[in-house]
């Protein structure tokens, strides 16, 4: 399931790397990447997401709660997303 969520998040972001929806998802991923920061993400931002992207965000949060982030799959997908955002400037 985590692979499916990461792939869907990547597809959304890769399709429109500079859209507000993509940047909201990317900000959540980067926030979840910083455990010492207590995963501080403004939950009000969830209201700005489309229902589909909100479900992806919940999936990312479930992955964090189940300790399924920071593995190679996660790191590779974050790197791919960062490249998509940088290369589409």
Domain boundaries, the chain: 2-87
Place of tokens 């996660």: 74
Q: Which long-range contacts (CB under 8 A, 24 or more apart) does 26-34 make?
A: 26/81, 26/85, 28/57, 28/60, 28/61, 29/60, 29/78, 29/81, 30/78, 32/60, 32/61, 32/63, 32/64, 32/69, 33/69, 33/70, 33/74, 33/78
The tens place of each residue's pLDDT in the chain, 89 residues long, gives 678 999 999 999 999 999 999 999 999 998 888 766 666 667 788 899 999 999 999 999 999 889 888 889 999 999 999 999 998 75
């Amino acid at each position: 399931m985590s692979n499916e969520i990461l792939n869907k998040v990547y597809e959304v972001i890769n399709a429109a790397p500079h859209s507000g929806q993509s940047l909201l998802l990317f900000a959540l991923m980067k926030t979840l990447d910083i455990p010492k920061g207590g995963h501080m993400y403004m939950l009000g931002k969830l209201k700005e997401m489309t229902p589909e992207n909100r479900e992806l965000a919940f999936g990312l949060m479930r992955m964090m709660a189940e300790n399924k982030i920071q593995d190679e799959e996660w790191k590779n997908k974050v790197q791919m997303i960062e490249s998509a955002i940088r290369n589409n400037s």
